[in-house]
Chain A
Amino acid sequence: MPVFLKMSVSITFVRPFARVLVPFTLHRKRRVLYSTILQRFMSSKIPAVSYPSKASTSPPEQLELDGWKITMKSSVQESVPTASSTKDEDPVAATRELIEMWRLLGREVPEYISEEELKTIMECASKSSKKKYLKYLYVKEKMKKAKQIKKEMKAAAKEKAKEDQLLETTKENKQQNFLFLRLWDRNIDTAMGWKGAQAMQYGQPLVFDMAYDNYMEPKELQNTVSQLLESEGWNRRNVDPFHIYFCNLKIDGPFYRELIKRYGEKWNKLLLTTTEKSYVDLFPKDSIVYLTADSPNVMTAFKHDKIYIVGSFVDKKMQPGTSLAKAKQLNLKTECLPLDKYLQWDTGTKNLTLDQMMRILLCLKNTGNWEEALKFVPKRKHTGYLEISQHSKGFVNRLKKSKTFNSFPKGSLNICTQKK
């Protein structure tokens, strides 16, 4: 048992550092740092070999409690001079070391940090923003690792399946007749392209208002672009797609750059309209409806002759009323989804993501059924659907009426207070 333990432990300690060493051969300083640590671990093993037997032989009454300190102190004596020489060089290295120590402490910090990320950390204004960013990197790293492992497992499984299949095919090896070649993905793409072109000509416009770039942090902007990408994808796959407009899209603005970065080559082949102009210049003002959760007007039905505008705005800083202010300024009609009417809202804001909006609007366009469309509202935000049947409505109204009547017989307050 003790042998087994010792083995597993030494493996866990050496492995991470060995892993560290490989991708960072370029950074000399780092390599020195880790190799010294590695050295320490290696060297510390040698004097301590005899130690465990000593501890186990000592009688339980007088426990040897301070012995470990000697090994801890003595084990690294030789590597101290190199450590102190690099000690106070620059804050960057110091930060890197601090993060390394935090990692040893079990804090949520990443294992590897690039120079660029380190610079971002140094630029963070406050301690908590540093911690937040480190946690973000940590989670990112973990996800990446998990993905990597999954990938490897999948590859192994595939390999195995292939071998099995190979065995089978060699056994049977018979010809089969097919109607189609396996070119499904390409065919689907072409079909969607045709539909998209059709939508460009005859489709109902749906506008994304890109004028919010200066209300957002870079992080929020990236999220917005992700959501835009996703909504465009949902639209492309629909039977009857919208004709998407990206309005107020400043050329070389942050939105534009991020979109080009994400779409790459495809950007110029997208079947949607991008323009620097505003929607009020493109469409008649009275057919525009600005969708915003702050609107006092509730959307009752999807109208096929209206132009709906969705603000491409992820608001993590809580600036309520920004889009409503915009619509007010341009004197546009506003509407919000009838979430309260159909759903028992539980938690979360009524602001939905862009792709959810897109799916809801597509569903409304095709079926006009609110229950069906509001399936795309995240389930965590509500507890279920409300049924507004005629009967219960009338019942509640009746009760309300009788109640107000009772408490105010002739509108007199005195009687009311007496009754209490």
Chain B
Amino acid sequence: MTFCFTGVRSFPKLWKNNSYLGLCPGHSYMSLFPKDCYGIRNQHKWFSLKTASPQNTKATNLPIAKARYRRKGNESCNKQVSPESSHLFAAGAAKKRAQMNPQSKDHALPPVKNIIQLPTKPLNSEEWDKLQEDFKGKANFEDWIISQMAHYNSSVDVAKSLLAWVAAKNNGIVGYNLLVKYLYLCVFHKQTSEVFDIYEIMKARYKSLESGGTSLLIRGLIHSDRWREALLLLKDIKKVMTPSKKNYNDCIQGALLHQDVNTAWNLYQELLCQDLIPMMETLKAFFDFGKGIKDDQYSNKLLDILLYLRNNQLYPGESFAQSIKTWFESVPGEQWKGRFTTIQRSGHCLGCGKTIESIHLSPEEYEYLKGKIMRDVIDGGDQYKKTTPQELKRFKNFVKYCPPFDIVIDGLNVAKMFPKARESQVLLNVVSQLAKQNLQVLVLGRKHMLTPCARWRKDEMEKVQKQASCFFADNISEDDPFLLYATLHSGSHCKFITKDLMRDHKACLPDAKTQRLFFKWQQGHQLAIINRLPGSKITFQHILSYDTVVQTTGDSWHIPYDEDLVERYSYEVPTKWLCLHRKT
């Protein structure tokens, strides 16, 4: 706000400065630049084949360097990784993979420009005046200092003395932005009486508030006796836009804090109706509140929450899992016992020995997914985008007249596994090892693999074609969609080999539900080769046989949860479980 005005007022000055300053540094920059970049490139051309890694970060930007560098990176990663470390989709695996590639540049810390020491005790107006004189920055002093205070959570009194000073300067008026920041501090320090005061002031001065201020007021009010006013504020927000899930969370927490269960559930219903995904804290609050209550209706609603988690493939956090466990154990009359475990590879819970739900899709789901892949991933409204109609027809015929396969191989992905080995040889190696096990193998690739060259030898490709069925797509077609369809077409027993995580194809699917279905199928059918050296016997990453999802058998619950210290990517699943079962 003030920025706008100061900007306008000082515009002539800025304009002058620009034209004056612009010449000098720009000029020297231009003259230095070409020399600099040629220098790097030349050095690179001569030495990159010998040096292990380019030291200059700029060199990594060059395309040639990039390719080579990546190879190096992979190699070193190949050497370091212990093979059984973690599953492709296990929580934290992506983070680990990222750490093994040393490409990430260390982020330089932003320069420290805070010259003024934030006051630790209330100042009088002379002291504030003095502080303002010391401050030399573009921003408005009051704005800046209160932002800093909010950032470092200064005490309320200091902020209040600032506001008093500002008010004294401005005939008793304090700007809205200062009030909101002050309100933030009050809410942060839980100064309820101050919050009331600000609330009164805001009500008096402004006829409506914006969402930020309202959210803070809601958060400040819910702990007090006037928590019902927070609901009115929520109503005010709803007039203009949908409240955030945080707003709902605060109101629900407030209602639960004051024992108004019905309001809390109503708000929860409303939240779900707005298509918002509730915060885990909200759900946790319901469980925490329900501790020790014997109320069938309430516990049924809690079980509904668990089913909501299941249907939307959400996983509770560690503390939420703890709350769930405590609630179950506290239910009077039902002797629940909970423990935190992991699941064995065979799909048995280590805690109770029960089998976890299978990863395989039901026949209807399977057909549905197959149709969706065909329609949205391969066809996608324009058959020319990923393939051509002729090729699609050829492929469909091919799939129809071939026996169902056991393994479908992404030829190019597998062949490029080891950068130092010859592509056709790696492929032949994999194919012949699989063929020896009497498996029906399909190799998908592109036509250029058939033109003999140093990397693709004719004799080896012929051997591949003898041991496996092959389908070669056009060089500009995409082969992954064909891989997916061929696997799905062959049936549930069929697996596919690639290291590709297929995220781009998953993204082509229209809705979250289909994407989850695809992800489940992918977890159950994707084989990733984890060999580190070419030539050795191939080993695959084990396939999960069970589905990682909240599940129940009536007298037992199994709930996967996220650990606090593990960073999980969206395409990974948790590895830790909460096992609950009733003693009978």
Q: Does any Cβ of B come within 8 Å of A282's Cβ?
A: no
Q: Does any Cβ of B come within 8 Å of A277's Cβ?
A: no
Give complex CA distance A151, B62 in Å: 44
Give complex CA distance A71, B535 in Å: 83
Given known contacts A344-B37, A344-B63, A416-B420, is B164 in contact with A55 (CB within 8 Å)? yes
Q: Does any Cβ of B come within 8 Å of A63's Cβ?
A: yes
Cβ–Cβ contact A105 & B125, under 8 A = no
Q: Does any Cβ of B come within 8 Å of A267's Cβ?
A: no
Give complex CA distance A106, B177 in Å: 7
Q: In the assembled complex, which residues on chain B have CB atoms less than 8 Å from the CB atom of A67?
A: 164, 167
Cβ–Cβ contact B164 & A407, under 8 A = no
Cβ–Cβ contact A72 & B205, under 8 A = yes
Q: Mark A265-281, 1 if CB is under 8 A from B, else 0.
A: 00000000000000000
Q: Report the stretch among B91-99, B206-214, B249-257, B545-553 that lies at the interface.
A: B206-214
Give complex CA distance A51, B174 in Å: 14
Give complex CA distance A180, B197 in Å: 78
Give complex CA distance A414, B33 in Å: 47
Q: Report the stretch among A81-89, A228-236, A306-314, A366-374 that lies at the interface.
A: A81-89
We find that the number of chain A residues with CB closer than 8 angstroms to chain B is 89
Q: Does any Cβ of B come within 8 Å of A408's Cβ?
A: yes
Q: In the assembled complex, which residues on chain A have CB atoms less than 8 Å from the CB atom of B37?
A: 344, 383-384
Cβ–Cβ contact B210 & A105, under 8 A = yes
Q: Does any Cβ of A come within 8 Å of B475's Cβ?
A: yes
For window 397-418 of A, CB contacts with B under 8 Å fall at 399, 403-404, 407-408, 411, 413-414, 416-417
Chain B nearest Cβ from A14, distance in angstroms: 12
Q: Does any Cβ of A come within 8 Å of B584's Cβ?
A: no
Give complex CA distance A228, B533 in Å: 54
Q: Report the stretch among B155-163, B322-330, B357-365 that lies at the interface.
A: B155-163
Q: Does any Cβ of B come within 8 Å of A135's Cβ?
A: no
Q: In the assembled complex, which residues on chain B have CB atoms less than 8 Å from the CB atom of A285?
A: none
Cβ–Cβ contact B2 & A47, under 8 A = no
Q: Does any Cβ of A come within 8 Å of B388's Cβ?
A: yes
Give complex CA distance A324, B475 in Å: 13
Q: In the assembled complex, which residues on chain B have CB atoms less than 8 Å from the CB atom of A87?
A: 207-208
Residues of A within 8 A of B (CB): 2, 5-6, 9-10, 12-13, 16, 40-41, 44-45, 47-49, 51-52, 55-56, 58, 60, 63-69, 71-73, 75-77, 80, 83-84, 86-88, 91, 94-95, 97-98, 101-106, 111, 127, 130, 142, 145-146, 149-150, 153, 296, 321-322, 324-326, 328-329, 340, 344-346, 383-384, 386, 392, 395-396, 399, 403-404, 407-408, 411, 413-414, 416-417, 420
Cβ–Cβ contact B164 & A65, under 8 A = yes
Q: Which of B143, B176, B240 has the most CB of A within 10 A?
A: B240
Q: Does any Cβ of A come within 8 Å of B384's Cβ?
A: yes
Q: Does any Cβ of A come within 8 Å of B201's Cβ?
A: yes
For window 354-390 of B, CB contacts with A under 8 Å fall at 382, 384-386, 388
Q: Does any Cβ of A come within 8 Å of B242's Cβ?
A: yes
Q: Does any Cβ of A come within 8 Å of B104's Cβ?
A: no
Cβ–Cβ contact A68 & B476, under 8 A = no
Give complex CA distance A410, B384 in Å: 43
Cβ–Cβ contact B168 & A104, under 8 A = no
Q: In the assembled complex, which residues on chain A have CB atoms less than 8 Å from the CB atom of B180?
A: 105
Cβ–Cβ contact A101 & B534, under 8 A = no
Give complex CA distance A10, B172 in Å: 12
5 smallest beta-carbon distances between A and B, as pairs: A71-B172, A68-B167, A48-B172, A101-B210, A325-B384
Nearest A residue to B6 via CB reads: A12
Give complex CA distance A25, B62 in Å: 59
Please tell me which one of the listed residues B1, B170, B421, B535 contacts residue A104 in the complex, with CB atoms under 8 A apart.
B1
Give complex CA distance A353, B534 in Å: 45
Give complex CA distance A178, B165 in Å: 70
Other contacts beyond A130-B241, A408-B422: 11, CB < 8 A: A2-B169, A13-B173, A56-B126, A63-B164, A66-B160, A75-B173, A97-B208, A105-B180, A325-B384, A344-B62, A413-B425
Cβ–Cβ contact A83 & B207, under 8 A = yes
Give complex CA distance A342, B382 in Å: 33
Given known contacts A71-B172, A325-B384, is B164 in contact with A64 (CB within 8 Å)? yes
Cβ–Cβ contact B172 & A384, under 8 A = no
Q: Does any Cβ of A come within 8 Å of B45's Cβ?
A: yes
Nearest B residue to A45 via CB reads: B171
Q: Does any Cβ of A come within 8 Å of B491's Cβ?
A: no
Q: Does any Cβ of A come within 8 Å of B115's Cβ?
A: no
Cβ–Cβ contact B157 & A65, under 8 A = yes
Give complex CA distance A107, B423 in Å: 56
Nearest A residue to B78 via CB reads: A420
Give complex CA distance A321, B384 in Å: 9
Given known contacts A94-B239, A344-B62, A413-B425, is B205 in contact with A325 (CB within 8 Å)? no
Give complex CA distance A55, B174 in Å: 15
Cβ–Cβ contact A328 & B388, under 8 A = yes
Please tell me which one of the listed residues B12, B169, B208, B422 contacts residue A98 in the complex, with CB atoms under 8 A apart.
B208
Give complex CA distance A5, B141 in Å: 13
Count of inter-chain pairs, beta carbons less than 8 A: 202
Cβ–Cβ contact B210 & A98, under 8 A = yes
Cβ–Cβ contact A142 & B4, under 8 A = yes
Chain A nearest Cβ from B215, distance in angstroms: 12
Q: In the assembled complex, which residues on chain B have CB atoms less than 8 Å from the CB atom of A51?
A: 167-168, 171-172
Give complex CA distance A363, B385 in Å: 32
Cβ–Cβ contact A413 & B382, under 8 A = no
Q: Does any Cβ of A come within 8 Å of B152's Cβ?
A: no
Cβ–Cβ contact B172 & A16, under 8 A = no
Please tell me which one of the listed residues A68, A105, A127, A414 contacts residue B168 in the complex, with CB atoms under 8 A apart.
A68
Q: In the assembled complex, which residues on chain B have CB atoms less than 8 Å from the CB atom of A346?
A: 61
Q: In the assembled complex, which residues on chain A have CB atoms less than 8 Å from the CB atom of B213?
A: 101, 105
Q: Mark B52-75, 1 if CB is under 8 A from A, else 0.
A: 000000100111000000000000
Q: In the assembled complex, which residues on chain B have CB atoms less than 8 Å from the CB atom of A40?
A: 205
For window 217-251 of B, CB contacts with A under 8 Å fall at 239-242
Cβ–Cβ contact B209 & A296, under 8 A = no
Given known contacts A322-B385, A325-B385, is B172 in contact with A392 (CB within 8 Å)? no
Cβ–Cβ contact B3 & A324, under 8 A = no
Give complex CA distance A55, B208 in Å: 31
Given known contacts A63-B122, A73-B201, A399-B49, is B172 in contact with A47 (CB within 8 Å)? yes
Nearest A residue to B476 via CB reads: A296
Q: In the assembled complex, which residues on chain B have CB atoms less than 8 Å from the CB atom of A69?
A: 197, 201
Cβ–Cβ contact A44 & B171, under 8 A = yes
Q: In the assembled complex, which residues on chain B have CB atoms less than 8 Å from the CB atom of A76?
A: 204-205
Chain B nearest Cβ from A211, distance in angstroms: 13
Chain A nearest Cβ from B217, distance in angstroms: 13
Please tell me which one of the listed residues B127, B201, B206, B533 contacts residue A417 in the complex, with CB atoms under 8 A apart.
B533
Please tell me which one of the listed residues B58, B124, B169, B204 contacts residue A80 in the complex, with CB atoms under 8 A apart.
B204
Q: Does any Cβ of A come within 8 Å of B564's Cβ?
A: no
Give complex CA distance A67, B122 in Å: 15
Give complex CA distance A41, B175 in Å: 11
Give complex CA distance A344, B7 in Å: 38
Give complex CA distance A345, B459 in Å: 38
Q: Does any Cβ of A come within 8 Å of B23's Cβ?
A: no
Please tell me which one of the listed residues A6, A12, A324 contacts residue B5 in the complex, with CB atoms under 8 A apart.
A12
Nearest A residue to B388 via CB reads: A328
